[in-house]
A and B are shown apart, each in its own frame.
Chain A
Amino acid sequence: MHTPFPFSAERRRLLRLGGAAMAGTLLGPSAAAVGKARPNVLFLMTDQQHIDTIAAAGCGHVHTPNMDRLVKAGTRFDTSYSTNPVCSPARSSMLTGRPSSETGVFKNDLPIRPEMPNLGQWLAQEGEYECAYAGKWHLPMTHTTRIPGFRVLNTALGGNGYLGDGFTSRACAAFLRQRSRTKPFCLVASFLQPHDICEWLRLNSRRLDRLPYPELRDRLPPLPDNFHFDPKEPGLITGRRLGNEGLANRWSEDQWRYYIWSYYRHVETVDAEIGRVLDALEGEGYGNETLVVFTSDHGEGLGHHQNTHKNYLYDEAVRVPLIFSLPGEIGANQRHRERVVSGMDILPTICAYAGLAAPPKVRGHNLRRVLGGSPAPGGEFCIAEVQGNQGRMVRTPEFKLIAYRDEPIAQLFDMRDDPGETRNLIDEPGQADTVRSLRNLLGDWERNLDAAPGIPHREFWAART
Chain B
Amino acid sequence: MRFFLLLLLVGNLAFAIDDILAGLPPPGASYLDSGQLANLRFRARDQAGTGEVLPAAEEGAPHSYRFTVARKTDNPWDVGFGWTTPAGVGPERDDVMLVSFEARSVGTDEDAQGQVQVVLRRSVPPNQPALVETCIFGSEWQRFNLAASPEADMAGDGILLTFNLGLAPQEIEIRDVRLLNFGTSIHWAHFLRALDASPWRTGRRSAGRALDPGLLWEMLAYAELEATPADFSPDGAWQATYAIFHCQGYLLFNNANLGLLQLARIPQADGNFLLQATQSIRLAYAMLHVTEARAVCRADALATPLSWSFSSRFFCPEGEEIPDLSTDEEGAPAGGAGPVALDWGLFEAVQRLDPAQPLPVFSLVEGFDLVKPNQQVLFRGEESYRLGEKTASFRRFDQLGSGLLPVSYWLDGRGRLQIVATHNRAYILDPEAEAKFERYSQEQIARQRRIERRLQEAEDR
A11 touches B126 (CB 8 A): no
Q: Known: A8-B331, A157-B284. Is A162-B405 also a contact (CB below 8 A)?
A: yes
Does A89 lie at the interface of the complex (its beta carbon under 8 Å from any beta carbon of B)?
Answer: no
Chain A 244-281 residues near chain B, CB threshold 8 A: 244, 247-249, 262, 265-266, 268-269, 271-273, 275-276, 279
**A residues contacting the other copy or chain, number (CB 8 A):** 78
Give B106-121 as 1s and 0s: 1 = Cβ < 8 Å from A's Cβ atoms: 0000000000000000
**B400 partner residues in chain A, CB cutoff 8 A:** 213, 215-216
Does B411 lie at the interface of the complex (its beta carbon under 8 Å from any beta carbon of A)?
Answer: no
A167 touches B289 (CB 8 A): yes
Q: Which of A197-205, A342-350, A365-373 contacts B (4 or more CB under 8 A)?
A: A197-205
A456 touches B372 (CB 8 A): no
Q: Which of B15-23, B181-189, B248-256, B347-355 contacts A (4 or more CB under 8 A)?
A: B248-256
- Quote the shortest CB–CB distance from A91 to chain B (angstroms): 17
Does A330 lie at the interface of the complex (its beta carbon under 8 Å from any beta carbon of B)?
Answer: no
Chain B 293-349 residues near chain A, CB threshold 8 A: 312, 314, 323-334, 336-338, 340
Which single member of B210, B244, B329, B333 contacts A6 (CB below 8 Å)?
Answer: B333
**B326 partner residues in chain A, CB cutoff 8 A:** 13, 16, 174
Give A1-33 as 1s and 0s: 1 = Cβ < 8 Å from B's Cβ atoms: 001011111111101111001000000000000
Which single member of B125, B209, B244, B371 contacts A239 (CB below 8 Å)?
Answer: B125
Cα(A166)–Cα(B314), bound, Å: 12
B330 touches A159 (CB 8 A): no
- Quote the shortest CB–CB distance from B168 to chain A (angstroms): 14
- Quote the shortest CB–CB distance from A176 to chain B (angstroms): 10
Q: Known: A18-B323, A153-B325. Is A243-B126 also a contact (CB below 8 A)?
A: yes
B404 touches A205 (CB 8 A): no
Q: Known: A162-B423, A276-B370. Is A154-B334 also a contact (CB below 8 A)?
A: no
A202 touches B402 (CB 8 A): no
B402 touches A7 (CB 8 A): no
Cα(A304)–Cα(B326), bound, Å: 43
Cα(A269)–Cα(B365), bound, Å: 13
Does B211 lie at the interface of the complex (its beta carbon under 8 Å from any beta carbon of A)?
Answer: yes
CB-based nearest B residue for A146: B455
A243 touches B127 (CB 8 A): yes
CB-based nearest A residue for B287: A155
Number of A-B contacts (CB under 8 A): 214
- Quote the shortest CB–CB distance from A6 to chain B (angstroms): 3
Which single member of B284, B333, B398, B424 contacts A203 (CB below 8 Å)?
Answer: B424
Does A196 lie at the interface of the complex (its beta carbon under 8 Å from any beta carbon of B)?
Answer: yes
**A238 partner residues in chain B, CB cutoff 8 A:** 125
**A198 partner residues in chain B, CB cutoff 8 A:** 248-249
**B210 partner residues in chain A, CB cutoff 8 A:** 203-204, 212
Cα(A241)–Cα(B365), bound, Å: 39
A155 touches B285 (CB 8 A): yes
Does B425 lie at the interface of the complex (its beta carbon under 8 Å from any beta carbon of A)?
Answer: yes
Q: Known: A7-B340, A146-B455, A248-B128. Is A213-B406 also a contact (CB below 8 A)?
A: yes
Does A143 lie at the interface of the complex (its beta carbon under 8 Å from any beta carbon of B)?
Answer: yes
**A266 partner residues in chain B, CB cutoff 8 A:** 405
**B333 partner residues in chain A, CB cutoff 8 A:** 6-7
Does B152 lie at the interface of the complex (its beta carbon under 8 Å from any beta carbon of A)?
Answer: yes
Does A95 lie at the interface of the complex (its beta carbon under 8 Å from any beta carbon of B)?
Answer: no
B425 touches A162 (CB 8 A): yes
**B207 partner residues in chain A, CB cutoff 8 A:** 202-203
A157 touches B281 (CB 8 A): yes
Cα(A216)–Cα(B436), bound, Å: 37
CB-based nearest A residue for B129: A243
Does A37 lie at the interface of the complex (its beta carbon under 8 Å from any beta carbon of B)?
Answer: no
Which single member of A170, A200, A272 contacts B327 (CB below 8 Å)?
Answer: A170
Which single member of B151, B209, B246, B371 contacts A157 (CB below 8 Å)?
Answer: B246
**B142 partner residues in chain A, CB cutoff 8 A:** none
Does A179 lie at the interface of the complex (its beta carbon under 8 Å from any beta carbon of B)?
Answer: yes
Cα(A13)–Cα(B310), bound, Å: 11
Does A177 lie at the interface of the complex (its beta carbon under 8 Å from any beta carbon of B)?
Answer: yes
Cα(A202)–Cα(B337), bound, Å: 38
**B283 partner residues in chain A, CB cutoff 8 A:** 154-157, 164, 167
Give A165-180 as 1s and 0s: 1 = Cβ < 8 Å from B's Cβ atoms: 0110011011101110
14 contacts between A and B (CB under 8 A): A6-B363, A9-B329, A9-B369, A12-B329, A16-B326, A154-B325, A166-B367, A175-B324, A203-B211, A203-B247, A248-B128, A248-B151, A269-B404, A271-B403
The 10 closest A-B pairs by CB, nearest first: A202-B249, A6-B337, A242-B126, A243-B126, A143-B284, A202-B206, A9-B331, A155-B284, A199-B249, A268-B403
Residues of A within 8 A of B (CB): 3, 5-13, 15-18, 21, 63, 142-146, 153-160, 162-164, 166-167, 170-171, 173-175, 177-179, 196, 198-206, 212-213, 215-216, 238-239, 241-244, 247-249, 262, 265-266, 268-269, 271-273, 275-276, 279, 456-457
Known: A13-B327, A204-B210. 17 other contacts (CB 8 A): A5-B369, A6-B337, A8-B332, A10-B331, A16-B324, A156-B284, A160-B425, A164-B283, A167-B281, A171-B314, A202-B248, A203-B210, A205-B151, A215-B400, A242-B126, A243-B126, A268-B372
